Every structure is written in structure tokens, then in C-alpha cells.
Structure 1
Amino acid sequence: MTQNYSYVNNSQYPGPNGGGPPPPARGQSPMMYNQQQQQQQQHQGVPPSSSNTLSPPTTPHLHQSRPVSPASDNNPARRAKRHYPTYVADQSSMAGTPPPPPQSTMQQGGMPSVQNNSIPNPAYPTMNPPQPNNNDNYASSLTNGVANMNLYGQSQQPTPLRQDIPLVGQLPLIHDLDLTPSAPQIGQNVIYYSILGISVTPSPNAQSPSIFKRSTINAVPASNNILKKSKLPFALLLEPYPSNMEVPVVTDTVVARCTRCKTYINPFVRFSQGALKWQCNMCGLDNDVPSSFDWDVTSQQQVDRWSRPELNYGCVDFVASADYMVRPPQPPAYVFIIDTSYQAIQTGMVGVVTNSILKSLDNIPNEDGRTKVALITVDNAVGFYKLSGDEPEMLVVGDLSDIYLPRAPSDLLVDLADAKSMVQDLLERMKTMHNESQLVNNCLGTALQAARKLLSSTGGKIVCFQATLPNVGDGVCKPHEEKKAITETTLMTPSSGFYRTFATECAKSQVCADMFIFGGSFADVATLNVIPRFTGGQTHFYPGFNANNSADALKLEHEIEKLLGEQIGLEAVMRTRCSAGMVCKAFHGNCTTRVPDIMALPNVPRDQSYCVEIGIEEDLQGSHAYFQTALLYTTCFGERRIRVINLCLPIARTLPEVFSAADQTAIARTICHQAIDKAVTYKLRDARDLLAKETIDISTAYAKEVIGNVATGASRLSLGRNLSLLPFLILGLLKTDTFNEAGNIPADIRARSTVLLRTLPMNLWLELTAPKFYCLHSMPQNAGQIDPNTKQFVMPPRLNLSSEKLERHGLYLLEDGQNIYIWMGKEAVPPLCMDFLNIPNISQVQSGQITELPKLHNSFSQRATAIVDHIRKERRSTYYPSLYIVKEDGDPLLRAMFLNRLIEDRNANGPVAAGANQQNVNSGMSYFQWLGFIRSKCQ
């Protein structure tokens, strides 16, 4: 039998079972697993072949019992530590991993069958079907399909398999969080799209990948009444500009749009009248097909219209014609504002910032040589720098009431290609030129006004590095005042109205601002974040920053270099269109919303996410609904483009269909946006109540509308497999710094958490809400290495977020996208300490932040280091995770930070009584207290 534990053969490295064999679930054969599942079902009174589903099941009906750890159950100390209710499981059902969910009919991988030599081979991860083995089979399938259905008939949706999961008494199925989002079931097979009238070509890429656009419900309710009964939020989650994603480009500037509703031609339109017209899938209007679809004027040759990217891909970029430009494309322009007051100098921030900018100059997008840069310093006056002539010249303006530019903008904002050596010289000098400064004042608002004046004619990006609370000139921020109770406060309340007005002016001028904030006792992140919030920028916060701490300096350096090296989009607007009967009713994310449904984005950062809530105003007709998001933007290399993202969803006319198509992660994200808005408008208590109410309402609706018996459904607290982790995710949100009611969370930390929950891409948002937890001391032999078959990096098995998983001799890693914590048990053996940290024993290990793990010449160290490096490098954002060593009996603050991320446990401030006895939601509840609270409110 293959051993799953790396150190089981060495008695000095005890595994989870005290050095004994692994639990029964590990290395278990499929036959043994199936036998145990059948025994479990018979024990629970469920026949092996259940007939209560509407289609043949592809996976066992799941009634998973909570696995029991023999080692922990025999230990009285471990039993006293447990926060879960005692639950005696049938020994025959202890199969460590739950069965997989039903497989989608649309799988990952593959490229469209349509070939076009002019299209680069894009990294386009989509949901693709199995391809036909040969052309004869494919032709046969088409012939049989045409013989049995009308060309544009309604599709027959596959009947969803229902899996009800009783939540109370068993651990959350956290491995479901790692599954690829299921694709909308818009047909039995994508090859039949064109036969069914869903798409015009048999391309498997007709649907947009979920990374670009994701719906909370993958089947649109046919009426608002059905949507209201389900209690599910209906919204689209958008990430229009993900990094490292190539999108097919339509280069001939032929942009075909509906003349009535302005929808862009896409794979879901229909051709009619001998293919001379195309019918809009949004409004039904017939439009003329552009002649260039069939005839290339340049080469004077006939072309294959079916090879056009916009008819085969759900997400494409059109190169826009001059009609989409009101001025020449905006050049990338960066104005750096650097705080040089006494506090900024003392922290060492100025030296790290200038050095990082200096190292990033070659990475700033400048393919066509049009990029411009300027530098401004700020203390009690505004310092400009003339970058033309023989050497840099500093020009100080002390009039804060009416700021002006002391030289022509062309002398202050210069082409990087022409003035690079002068910019480098200035940055080298700035590392030390302000070291003797004793000025404690800061006029940030005035410096921002100056930067906007520099950029007003072209637009651009302000990158601000701020270490002192603005206290003179425009935008003075008030010192923090302690509030009487955290539940009585609002969230993200700015202390000055200047920044909201300034952000509006910036948006009009296509100016964006990114804020790097370095906190002392109070930095007022809530106020300074207002500018990025409404201009499409980003906010980074470094509490207690000190450049002498190499880990702090490394994090800042990485995040500056990543942000400046991004291929951003400029001067953008984004609009989402829906099928008739639906409307966009609310927008979330860092943008300015223009009436009625336009999101203005002076800057489109990579990997930032947005949310658009959808309302149903009229009953929906037909079998499918369509959504199209168009992002008009300018690339860094001066090309005006339109990114069009299409999504087709089936229309559901029954509540079971709606629930079976729910996406629990997207639903939790949408509820999170709604709760943040509630906390900003009202109070934090109201936001927590909303999170609880939405969870209770959805659970009650499922019991009533799907299970059919409210009393039975509520008593078992059952949800479908695709919704079973929703209560877990909402509890994770309640325990984040944003919604946590602990009174010791500083206002700046709470504000930073809110910024992250609002803007992170979906994968990092999920990690922040539900961190990943791994055991390192007994990880499989292949963990921390590249799998030779799949060529993918192998991570250790994911653990439930409970302190029950912690052993005193163990080594564990927990990461939430922002921080990586490595927990070392107080009884860790000396060989483990040596192999991991090159330290003789656990008593000499120190808790604290480190830059990286030591690179030692042993397999365990190399694999553990590779895991940390993989986590840090696979970031789809500019945020760089900090690394902490947490010793079990070490720094109490770090220990509390780690344990608070184990969201299945009760927090120190949580209630002691059972959840059913709680009247109000409490963020300190354990997972099972939370389930008891929900169940009591559902009855």
C-alpha cells in the first residue's frame, strides 16, 4: 500500500495518528469506497438506487457523517478542545472525502473547430464538450440532429440531479470550493448549439469563460415572482480585464451592432433572409450583415464568415474605428506623489518607494514610447520637479489656497523615453535628499489638485504614497475618535468631503488615483480610499510600516513593481445589456456610475472585479436569456478597443430548476456587496443582520419550495449540494475584519478589509472569506512538486478550518490571499525544526514575520519552500502575501490572528450557549452554533 505521509517511516515525525497508519479514507480503493457508501445508505434507510430524482444519478446520494478521528477522540484534552457537538458516526461510513458532485456536460479544455490563421492561439479556458472522434461521426450527428428537430426550436434542458445535504452534524464540504464553476446547461451538447438555434457555429467557445463573467444563478427565473420566492440574489460578477488572459482580436475595425439596441454581434445571433441579415438576440431586430464578412476588400478575395472570432468566441476584442474616439488615444501617464514629511522619513518609506519606482521604470508599459511621468513631493508645501534641461530642478509652491503649476506642463510631465536618465538621477537623489526634514505637516489635498492639473489634458494615473495624516490645505483629515460601540457605527465614513468631490473631477478628466497608505496610530484609510473607489484605482495599506523590517520593505517593493508593470486599460466605460424584460439595477466596485447603466472607469486595473445586480421587470419569453457586457477602453500601446463578453443562460420556470443552477460562491459575493452598502449607509449591526437574514431566507425557501416540507427541511437544515457551503461562506464573511463585532479591530484594518472584499478577483475573495488550510508535516510525497502527468503544481490536501486538525507536534500552513501563517506546535520534534528552519529545537524558534523560508538541502524544506513560493507567485492581483511563523506558545497576538482564521471554531468573544438559544447573530459563533442559529430561525 502506498504511504501518504512523508515522515511516517521516521518515528521522530509522528503523523496525525501518532505515528500509526493513515486514516482509512486515505489511499482507499474506489471499490471499498462504493461499498461503504452503500452500507451507509442502507444504515440510514436509503435504498441503493434511489428513485426520488428526476434523472439517473451519476453520484451516490450523499448523507455524509462527520468523520471521527480515532487519535483525537481517545485524547481527553482534544475532546475538551472541540467546539463541535458530539456526533457518533456509523463506522462503515467513515469515508474521508465526500463523493464528487455531478459532472457538467461541458468540460474544460480544447479549442473551437473553426480555424482562422489570423487569430493567435489564445489561452482561453472555457467549458468545452467532448469533441467528435472523426468528421464522419460529426456529420452523422448533425444529420440525425436536423432530422429530429427544427432549426431554431427550443432546447431540451437536461434534468438536474438533486443532492440534498443535511448540514447539521457534519463538517462543511470544503473541497467543493476548489471545483471549477459549473457551466450553464444551455444544451445537452455544445456541438448542437447551431442546430438548437443557440449559437450560429458549433464552436465550444461560444460561451464566455466564467473568469470574465459569472452569474449567481445559471438559469434565469422566468418571472420576478419566481425570483422573489427563491430569495436568491440575481447578479453578474465581472472581471473584464484578467491578467495573463489572451482574448481573440477582431482587427479589421468592422464592428457590427444592432441598429436598435446597440448589441454587438455575437455567437448567439441568428442569420436570416439567405444569410443577408442577422437577428439580434437581445431585441429581435434584423440587421444587415456587413459585406466584409464575406468579401475581403484588401485582398479582393472571398472569406469564410464562419471563421470570424466574434461568431465563435464568447469574449472578443474589437479594434475600434475612429467613430469610437473623441480625441487621440490617451498615453499612459504617471504622476507620483511622495510624502516627504518627518514621519515618512522616519519610517524609511521614501527610500523604499523611490528605489522601487527606479527599478520599475523599464517595466512601465511604454511599447510605443508615449508614456509620460512626473514626480511631486509633499510636506507643508508642494514640490514640483522640472525634468527638462541639463539636470532636475526642484520648484516649491507654498501657496496652498490656490495651487498652480510653476512651469509649463511639458517641463513637469515628460516622456519617459526621452527623460529616462534624468528621472533616474532624480530618484537616486530623492532616496536621501529629504533625510534631514523636520516638517510634520502634510498638504496632500493640495498636491492632488496639482497632479490633476498636470493630467487634465490627457488623463492618466496618480500614484500616491502617504505616511502622514493630511493636516493643512485642502482635504484635512480629522484624527480618529473612539466610538461608543462598534455595532453603532457606520462603515467607511470619510472625515472630509473634499475627496469625493475631487474623485468626481478626476473621473471627468479620465484621471485615476492609486493610494499607498502607511499607517501609524491612525491613517484614515476610509477617507483616502474614496479617490480610488470612484476612479477605478487600488488601495494598499501598510500598518506599522518600518523599512528596517525587511519583510515590510519586500512586500512594498513587490506591490509597487507589480502595479507599475500592469498592462492597464485607460479611459474606459463599461455597459451591460440584458434580454428584454431585465434591467441592471445596482452596481458595485471601484467605478463611477453614470445614469442609467454606464460604469465609468478612468483606469481598468488587472483582475479587479465588479458586480451588476439584475432585476426582472417583465415575464421572460423564449427558452434562453442573454447578457452582454461591453468595455470600451484604450490599451497601453494606444489602440482603442471594445471588449465584448457574452453569456447565454437558460430560462427556468420552476423553483427547483432555479435552485439547482445556483452558484453559492457568486451568491455569497453578491450578498457581501449588499452588506457593505448596508453598513456604509446604516450601521454595522444592520449589515450583520442582512448577512444572517439572507442565509435564513434562502434556507427556508429551499425547504419550502424544493424539499416541500418546511418543518422537515428546517429541522434537518438541508440544502442542495451546490448551496451547501453558503452558510459556511457567510460565516466566513461575518468573521472577516469588516463585519466582525470584536471591539479591538482598528478602524483602518476594518477599512482595508472592506476594500479587499469589494475589489478582489473572485479566487482571492474566496480565499479571504474561506482561507486554505494545509498540514505540512505529513503531506503526501508528491506535494510541493510538479506532477509529471498533469504538469500542475501539487498542493497538500485541504483541511477543514478547525483547531481539531492541530496536533501539538504538527506543522501547518494557512493562507488567506493576504497573509501566509505557518503554525508550529509546541511539541514539534527537533528533526522537523532542523529540516524546516535549520533551528535545533522548538524552544529556539521565534514567532514573527519573515521574508521567506530558509532554503535548505533537504526534500522537506525544498517542498515546503516551493509551496510558499507557489502561493505567492500565483497571485492574480498586485497584493503580495506576508509570511509569518506562528509558534503555538509564542506571540499571543500572532497566535490569535491565526486561530481567528479557523472560522469553524468559536472565537474568544463568541457566545457560550448553543446557537439555537441566540436571539441575534454573533460573528464569534462556531460553525455548528451558526447552523443551530439558522435552523432555529427557519422553524
Structure 2
Amino acid sequence: MEQLKDEDYLRCNICTCIIKIPKNFLRPEDLEKRPDLNTGSYDIKAGQEYQMRPPMAPAYFFMIDVSSKSEGILSIMGQIIKDMILEDKFNNRTLFGFITYDTSIHLYNFNSKLKSPQMYVLTDDNEMPTREDYMFNLQDSKDIIVAFLNQLDRLFPKPQLKSTQFMSALNLVQKIMQDNGGKLIILTSSPIKELNVAENQKSSQYHFQPTNNILKQVCDKMHLNYICPSIFIVQSGFNNVGTLNQLVKYLNGDMFYYDDPITYSQKFYYDFYAVLRREYTWESVFRIRLSIGWKIKSVYGNYTVKNADLLNVTCTEDQKVLMYELELNQPRAPYDNLYVQTALLYTSTNGERRIRVHNICIPISNSIKTIYSQIDQSCLAISLYKIALSQLNIAKDAKDCIQTKDFLIAATRSISKNCQFYKEPLDFLHSYMLGIMKSQTLNYNYDQQSVLTDHMNYLRSIYQYLNVDELVTYIVPQLYNISDLKEQECVYDDNGYFIYPQSISLVLEEVSNGGLLLMDCGYCLILFICKIHDENQMADIFGQQYQNMNLIEDNLYSNSKNLINDKLYFLIQELRNNKYTKYVPLYIVKQGSKTQWEELFFQNLIYDDFNRHYRMGYNQFVQYIG
């Protein structure tokens, strides 16, 4: 707000309305309790007018595929939930419910008056259950739920390796949850018959886009009930991830995909635990307001439009990103600043209806040179990438990848020419854009039903909500020379902040120099042992018999007295902790081993021309851009 010369009035910087200053604004006796008058960002209790219904209770409903024996998964899931219940990690208002499904659907009654949980097998002749029958307050039914979790992995000893009742189970869950809403946690593995691709439809577009809109139709109901999914997919052939992603896209959900049989159980443990531990904003909606002369052109991310400019982003949390593209539609707008106000209306875990507000003032300039001198190059590149991915999401087939690449090249050339004219170097932008052009998602054909197609569609899904700093590592990996760590690196400073080592260039020359290199590729870490290395140092890190050892992470820290081992351990943990998925696997690779991870390592040396999908080095790319 701007106080006018006549001190009795304020003008809103957003809508320009002029109001008389309320008396309690001038000299409020409780100023220290009025963050809305003291700071640009605040979180306050919402008024009664924002409560259309009583605040919902936190709710977790588990929809579990038991049709295939995913070794250890049910045991891990049951153990994590049980431990968190016994440690009182959930609010005392929390509701719980479970469905398991294979060729049948099984519901569970946890009424506190029962001595043991009751399984109810749903058939076509059964009467549809009500929410009261299958969602229970955790505190009231704690003992009986724990008893169920103790036997979860033993309930289905002979899995039915067939197509499942996924859609029937999902529709049933929607009806059970509709009065309250909450977090829907889905575990799926076997093929979903309703999502299968017919033989006469096996063209590339049916792997690039959703097979059908069955899930989108369910989303139209679920978003009104504030239901948000987290989907855990254990790979078993072609799972049609591109179609399952509709649940993620329209319901502000997230997805976890496991296609490595060696690491998937450990990865699942950390992912599942993180999903249950996150602090969510329940039944939340979001909007932004802009000053006069500006409008919202596009929004990128996972959401559903509730009405006008109001987005449904239920169960959102601090690691997910929405990107807004704004447009100046009145070039002669009367202000030198752009004012933005964001507002998130939500229910807290404790049952309070609250509003979280951020106000920001962004200077406007007519000087192109000033604008380019202030650009965050990584943010600019990722913004262009997200726009390109959104074009792919509405493309008809994989051939549209070519047009998407043309868009990225044209944008890079335009920016580069302006930078040259105004003598503002944007060297890093070329690196980021080269990494984007070499990215897997833009260079895959999507022409087959395969695990690789599912993996690519999984990446396209998570790219929609990952933050800039994390997504950058997927296109321009970070490379560290572990053999040359300094004393002051990979330690925590006096304020508790981690000091990262200086990253090195993504070129073959660094490999030729030898040593031990760690590459952060976003979804995995690669510890690369160059042909030229210090034998004594390798023995210190891996042990004296490292030449004959199975080089896995479990054997990495065998020499705990070695300082470099501690530094490497802390670095790996920090890289993992900063990611949305809390466990990225570490692959230890010897140069010359000719494994898929060695191939990935060399393809990620993006400044050279090793990437077979985009054979262009950095210097060639800069010349090509012009």
C-alpha cells in the first residue's frame, strides 16, 4: 500500500483503489502481533468468510496393488507407517484408510470396537461402502491399525500376476474420501487393463500422450474433493506412466518410478518415508494478483483451475514449483514497478484455516541492457525448458520434438544477439541450453511400449514440479574431483552450512587428468574411477582389496578413519538431501567397464560431442547459435 500525501488515505499498489486508513492501522496497540503491517510475507489465521466448511482433518488413504510380489515393498511400507504411528508423528485428528487390490478389491474395517481388523472383499453384488465404514481416526483405532500393518506383507502370499482392478479401486477410493479429502498414496505394479493400448493404436503418439482420458475424468471429481495423489510405480514391463501422470498433473500430485531392481527397495524406503513426513497445506487454493497493466499469460506446473484465477493445489508443500509467465498488456502502465501478491489459502494440520501471503515489488526498466545484466541465467534456461515441455504435453506425436527444439534455438539466438549488442555476457546460458538440447526427453522417439518409454514420461512428469536448482542438475550435471578435495571443502561452517567443493568442467580432459570423479546427474550419482588414479588413495577409500571387490556403496566407507571418506560421505548425503526424491542411487564405475552408467557418464560430458542424440560440442553450439 502507498500512503498518499493526505495521510488519511492509502492507495493499493495492486488495484489502485483508494481507502481511508483504518484507525487501528495508524497506531495499532498490538503492532508486534500484526505481521501484515510489518512485513511483506506473513501467515495469518483466515477469517470466517474463508471457511466454506469445517476445516478438514489430515487424511491418508493407502491404495495398494498386491497383484505382484514386489519383494520387500509391502514389508517396508507397513514398517514405516507403523513406526510413525508408534512415534506419534501424526496429528491426533488424522484419518487413515486402506484398500488392497489385485483381481479383487479388499477393504478393511478398523473400528476400535473390533478385536482384529476385518477384510471385506468387494464383488459386483456387494453394496457400496460408505466413508464412515472405511476411514478411521488414527487415535481411536491405533492398536487395530498397527495389528493390520504387522501382517500386511503376509496377507497375500500368492500374488495374482494378472491385470488389476485399478480403476474400480480408484473410483471407490474417490467416493470414500469425497467428504473429507486428503492424501491418496497409490502403490501400483501390474498392468492396468483400462489403460492398455489397443493393437491398432500402437503408433508413437500413444506412448507420447495419455492413452485415453479415463483418469482425467476421475480427476474432475477428485480435485473438487481436495484429493492429492502420490504414486509409487514398481516397474513390471510397460506401466503406461504417461497416462498415469494425469493424476499427478491435475491433482498437484507427485510420482516415484522404480525401474532398477538392485536399488528400488532402498529408494522406495526413503521416498515413502519422505511423503509421510512432509508438512502439507490441506485443501489449499492459490492465486496471485498483479498491478495494473499486467496479466497472467500461462501457468506451468501441476494444478487444476478452480475458478477464474484461483488454482486448486491441495496438499502442496515447500519443494514443489509453479511457474507463472506474465505479460505487459498496457505498455504505458503508470508505475515503475511490478507489484505481485501471492496468497495461499489452506488448512493446517492442526485444523486452522490460514492464509499465507507474499508481496514483492519488482522494478521495471526500459533499458534492455539493465534487464539482461540482472538475468538469472539458470532460471531463464529452466523457464524456457518448462515452456518447451508444456508444448510437448499438447503435441500430437513425437515429431513435434523438432518444433520444440526449433523454439529453444530461436529463443537462445534472440537472447544471445541482444547480449552481444549490449555487451552483456551470458556464457552460462549457452551451457544450459546445450544441456537442454541434449536432454533425454527431447531426443527420445516414444515409439515403443517399453520401460525406457515409461522412464522418459516419468522424467517429463517430475520436471513439471521440480525447482530450478534441482532441475538444472538433470540437464547440466555437477562434476567434482574427489581426489583433489581441499581441507575446507565438504565440511559444515560455523553457521551449519555445507561448503561444496568447486565443480569442474564437463569435458573429457578432466577424465584424462585422472583421479576419482563424482557426477550428480539429477536422478543418480556416478562415482567414476579414471584409468589414471592414485592406487594408494583408492585403497584408502575402498580398502586394500578394492581391485577384486564388488564396487557398491556399501563397501565405499570401509576405511572410516580416512578423512576423504568422511568428506565423500557428507557430500553424497548433502546432494541427496537437496533433492525431491530423498535417495538417488550411487553407481561406482571403472573407466573401460562398458556399462550403461559409464555410457551415461560420458554422454553427460556435454561440452564435448559424446551425446549420440545431439552431436555438438560447446564451441560448435556457440557458433551455431551465432
TM-score of the pair, normalised by structure 1: 0.62
How many Å separate the matches in 1 of 2:560 and 2:359?
A: 49
Q: What is residue 149 of structure 2 aligned with on the other side?
A: 427
8 Å CA contact 2:604, 2:611 repeated in 1: no
The letter for the 1-side match of 2:277 is G
Q: What is residue 97 of structure 2 aligned with on the other side?
A: 374
CA separation of 1:685/1:480 partners in 2, compared to 1, >3 Å: closer, same or farther?
A: farther
How many Å separate the matches in 1 of 2:82 and 2:571?
A: 30
How many Å separate the matches in 1 of 2:164 and 2:99?
A: 13
Question: Is 1:340 matched up with 2:66?
Answer: yes
How many Å separate the matches in 2 of 1:612 and 1:506?
A: 24
Question: Is 1:771 matched up with 2:487?
Answer: no
How many Å separate the matches in 2 of 1:827 and 1:630?
A: 56
Q: How does 1:497-516 map to 2 (within 5 A)?
A: 497-516=213-232
Structure 2 residue aligned with 1:740, among 440, 443, 463? 443
Q: What is residue 363 of structure 2 aligned with on the other side?
A: 650
How many Å separate the matches in 2 of 1:750 and 1:280?
A: 46
Structure 2 residue aligned with 1:752, among 454, 458, 462? 458
Q: What is residue 618 of structure 1 aligned with on the other side?
A: 330
How many Å separate the matches in 1 of 2:223 and 2:526?
A: 39
Cα deviation for residue 887 of structure 1 reads 1.2
8 Å CA contact 2:543, 2:559 repeated in 1: no
Question: Is 1:896 matched up with 2:615?
Answer: no
Deviations along 1:887-909, one digit per CA (max 9) or x if unpaired, are 11225211012222222121242
CA separation of 1:468/1:892 partners in 2, compared to 1, >3 Å: closer, same or farther?
A: same
8 Å CA contact 2:96, 2:136 repeated in 1: yes
Question: Is 1:927 matched up with 2:614?
Answer: no
Aligned residues: CA RMSD: 2.6
How many Å separate the matches in 1 of 2:486 and 2:294?
A: 50
Report the count of equivalent residues: 616
8 Å CA contact 1:467, 1:517 repeated in 2: yes
TM-score of the pair, normalised by structure 2: 0.92
Give the stretch that moved more between structures: 748-757 or 555-564.
748-757
Q: Secondary structure at the match of 2:342?
A: strand
How many Å separate the matches in 2 of 1:616 and 1:480?
A: 48
Question: Is 1:282 matched up with 2:14?
Answer: yes
CA separation of 1:684/1:892 partners in 2, compared to 1, >3 Å: closer, same or farther?
A: same
Question: Is 1:905 matched up with 2:608?
Answer: yes
Q: What is residue 867 of structure 1 aligned with on the other side?
A: 571
CA separation of 1:585/1:480 partners in 2, compared to 1, >3 Å: closer, same or farther?
A: farther
How many Å separate the matches in 2 of 1:318 and 1:384?
A: 39
CA separation of 1:661/1:870 partners in 2, compared to 1, >3 Å: closer, same or farther?
A: closer
Cα deviation for residue 304 of structure 1 reads 4.4
Cα deviation for residue 590 of structure 1 reads 0.8
The letter for the 2-side match of 1:755 is S
Deviations along 1:771-830, one digit per CA (max 9) or x if unpaired, are 211001121122222335x64322222111112111474101111332111001234343
How many Å separate the matches in 2 of 1:445 and 1:816?
A: 35
Question: Is 1:799 matched up with 2:504?
Answer: yes
Structure 2 residue aligned with 1:727, among 430, 444, 454? 430
Q: Secondary structure at the match of 1:806?
A: helix
How many Å separate the matches in 2 of 1:553 and 1:519?
A: 12
CA separation of 1:410/1:309 partners in 2, compared to 1, >3 Å: closer, same or farther?
A: same
Q: How does 1:562-711 map to 2 (within 5 A)?
A: 562-619=274-331, 620-682=333-395, 683-704=400-421, 706-707=422-423
Structure 1 residue aligned with 2:41, among 315, 318, 339? 315
Deviations along 1:29-59, one digit per CA (max 9) or x if unpaired, are xxxxxxxxxxxxxxxxxxxxxxxxxxxxxxx
The letter for the 2-side match of 1:514 is S
Structure number with larger C-alpha Rg: 1
Q: How does 1:53-452 map to 2 (within 5 A)?
A: 269-272=1-4, 275-293=7-25, 302-304=29-31, 308-341=34-67, 343=68, 345-361=69-85, 366-367=90-91, 369-388=92-111, 389-399=114-124, 405-406=128-129, 408-452=130-174
8 Å CA contact 1:679, 1:686 repeated in 2: no
The letter for the 1-side match of 2:620 is Q
CA separation of 1:521/1:925 partners in 2, compared to 1, >3 Å: closer, same or farther?
A: farther
Q: Secondary structure at the match of 2:528?
A: strand
8 Å CA contact 1:365, 1:566 repeated in 2: no
CA separation of 1:907/1:660 partners in 2, compared to 1, >3 Å: closer, same or farther?
A: same
Q: What is residue 196 of structure 2 aligned with on the other side?
A: 477
Q: Secondary structure at the match of 2:143?
A: helix
Cα deviation for residue 346 of structure 1 reads 4.7
Deviations along 1:194-241, one digit per CA (max 9) or x if unpaired, are xxxxxxxxxxxxxxxxxxxxxxxxxxxxxxxxxxxxxxxxxxxxxxxx
8 Å CA contact 2:195, 2:243 repeated in 1: no
Cα deviation for residue 580 of structure 1 reads 0.6
CA separation of 1:566/1:617 partners in 2, compared to 1, >3 Å: closer, same or farther?
A: same
How many Å separate the matches in 1 of 2:365 and 2:221?
A: 44
Q: What is residue 586 of structure 2 aligned with on the other side?
A: 883
How many Å separate the matches in 2 of 1:725 and 1:768?
A: 15
8 Å CA contact 2:162, 2:191 repeated in 1: no
Deviations along 1:504-537, one digit per CA (max 9) or x if unpaired, are 1111111111111111221111111110111111
Cα deviation for residue 675 of structure 1 reads 0.6
Structure 2 residue aligned with 1:832, among 509, 520, 537? 537
Q: Secondary structure at the match of 2:441?
A: coil
Cα deviation for residue 410 of structure 1 reads 2.2
How many Å separate the matches in 1 of 2:390 and 2:339?
A: 28
How many Å separate the matches in 2 of 1:755 and 1:924?
A: 26
How many Å separate the matches in 2 of 1:543 and 1:899?
A: 22
8 Å CA contact 1:294, 1:303 repeated in 2: no
Q: Secondary structure at the match of 2:298?
A: strand
Question: Is 1:459 matched up with 2:175?
Answer: no
8 Å CA contact 1:316, 1:645 repeated in 2: yes
Higher helix share: 2
How many Å separate the matches in 2 of 1:635 and 1:772?
A: 37
Give the stretch that moved more between structures: 529-538 or 814-823.
814-823
Q: Secondary structure at the match of 1:284?
A: coil
CA separation of 1:555/1:514 partners in 2, compared to 1, >3 Å: closer, same or farther?
A: same
The letter for the 1-side match of 2:158 is E
Q: Secondary structure at the match of 2:55?
A: coil
Deviations along 1:575-610, one digit per CA (max 9) or x if unpaired, are 111111110121111101245322211221331000
How many Å separate the matches in 2 of 1:463 and 1:736?
A: 30
Q: Secondary structure at the match of 2:275?
A: helix
Cα deviation for residue 747 of structure 1 reads 1.0
The letter for the 1-side match of 2:107 is F
8 Å CA contact 1:838, 1:856 repeated in 2: no
State percent identity of aligned pairs. Answer: 23
Structure 2 unaligned runs (5+)? none
How many Å separate the matches in 2 of 1:832 and 1:886?
A: 16
Cα deviation for residue 274 of structure 1 reads 6.0
Cα deviation for residue 860 of structure 1 reads 1.9
Q: Secondary structure at the match of 1:691?
A: helix
Cα deviation for residue 457 of structure 1 reads 0.5
How many Å separate the matches in 2 of 1:499 and 1:876?
A: 28
The letter for the 2-side match of 1:277 is Y
8 Å CA contact 1:535, 1:590 repeated in 2: yes
The letter for the 1-side match of 2:311 is M
Report 1 or 2 for greater relative contact order, CA contacts < 8 Å, sequence distance ≥ 6: 1
The letter for the 1-side match of 2:19 is N
